Amino acid sequence: MANLSVEFVLQQLLNGISIGSIYALIALGYTMVYGIIQLINFAHGDVMMIGAYVGWYCTAVLHMPFLPALLTAMLACSLLGVVIERVAYKPLRRSTRLAALITAIGVSFFLEYGMMFLVSPQTRTFPPVFPQTIYHVGPLNIKYGDIVIITVTLALMALLTLVVKYTRIGKAMRAVSFDKDAAALMGIDVNNVISATFAIGSALAAAAGVLIGVYYNTIGPLMGIMPGLKAFVAAVLGGIGIIPGAMLGGLALGLTEVLVSAAGFSTWRDAGAFLILIVVLIVKPTGLLGANTREKV
């Protein structure tokens, strides 16, 4: 807390926005899937991890530039997301919440330890895909990576908003999340919509994975657990099932974490995130942007 200058605060704010936008990208997938099939897709953080590995393979082994690598990772993970849904979640669509939740945790462990088995538990180093330039804007040090993260996130969020608002599949998604049976009666192919949701959510997670890889330089098979859990916290914070809520929640969480670290409690950072989670769940379980609903008797 030594030098609480304006520059320091602005710098932390910038870091918070960078981390927060990554959380937001992951949180979007959680929220979209929850909105459509009321499932907490625990494997989502691990899909992000796979995305990071695909991105690593593309850049480190195939020497692709950043953008093609990002797109390849997104494509690969959207396929993975669809496969996971079809194989593991679809047979459980009519079963209990507990069964679905446990399956999701099972898939999560399968991805984590399957990757460990395949590519060894060691962490890997991402090649420097960006110039290590640091721009000095006034008192601020802006890394090239910060700019990329924020730009990519904003672009993807804008794209997602457009897709959900204006395309056929986006409208179908909103219809299914409102009432699955009614949507089916109106001729919407619910299975396709659910697959599309998983594809889009997983692609966003893959993008987050690649961004984390290039930002922190190292990736590992268990890298998805903590960001995954925290992105879920972000989704709940904003109101699960609500797309703008996930963005807001992600940013809020990122900023809080940076604040806790900057105040000198960096080892307590994760506890802070979970404390926020519990408090939000108790005080307003529907999240910042959620509306209250009640069970019909």
Partner 1 sequence: MRWTKYLIWLTAAAAVYGIVYLLAHVGIVSRFFLLTMVQICIYIIMALGLNLITGFTGQLSIGHAGFMSIGAYATGIFVVTFGKPVSAALTELWGDRGVTDVAYYIFILTSLAVGALAAALFGLLLGLPTLRLRGDYLAIATIGFGEIVRIVLLNTKALGGASGLPVKQSVDWATAYWLMLLSVVLVYNFVNSSHGRACISIRENEIAAETMGINTTKYKVMAFALGACFAGLAGGIYANHMYLVHPNSFGFLKSFEILVMVVLGGLGSVTGCILGAAVMTIMNNVLAPFPELRMIIISVLLVVMMIFRPNGLMGATELRLPFRRASATGAEEGSGHDL
| Contact positions vs partner 1 (CB under 8 A) | 38, 40, 88, 91-92, 95-103, 105-110, 112-114, 116-117, 121, 225, 229, 232-233, 236, 267-268, 270-271, 274-275, 277-278, 281-282, 285, 295, 297
- Please work out, in degrees rounded to the nearest 5, the angle formed at the alpha carbon of residue 135 by the alpha carbons of 131 and 139: 155
H or E stretch including 124? Answer: strand 124-125
Q: Which is nearer to partner 1, 178 or 268 (CB)?
A: 268
Measured from the CB atom, is 48 or 210 closer to partner 1?
48
Report the alpha-carbon distance of residue 135 to residue 109 in Å, rounded: 41
Strand 140-143, strand 218-219: pairing? unpaired
Cα–chain center distance at 273: 15
Q: 3-class SS at 265?
A: coil
Least distance between partner 1 and beta carbon 233 (Å): 8
Residue with tokens 């457009």: 162
Residue 292: DSSP 8-state: -
Q: Minimum distance from CB of 88 to partner 1 (Å)?
A: 5
Cβ closest to partner 1, residue 43 vs residue 73: 43
Residue 273 C-beta: closest distance to partner 1, Å: 8
Query: Minimal distance in Å, beta carbon 176 to partner 1?
Result: 19
Q: Which is nearer to partner 1, 200 or 233 (CB)?
A: 233
Q: Judged by CB, which is closer to partner 1: 97, or 165?
A: 97
> Read out DSSP for 200-233?
HHHHHHHHHHHHHHHHHSEE-TTTTHHHHHHHHH
Nearer to partner 1, 100 or 252 (CB): 100
Q: How far is the CB of 263 from partner 1 (least distance, A)?
A: 14
State which residue, 101 or 190, has the beta carbon closest to partner 1.
101
CB of 184 to partner 1, least distance (A): 22
Smallest distance from the beta carbon of 115 to partner 1, in angstroms?
A: 9
Q: How far apart are CA 172 and CA 106, in angstroms?
A: 29
Q: Give the number of other CB atoms < 10 A from CB of residue 152.
A: 20
Q: What proportions of the chain, in percent to the nearest 5, are helix, strand and coil?
A: 75, 5, 20
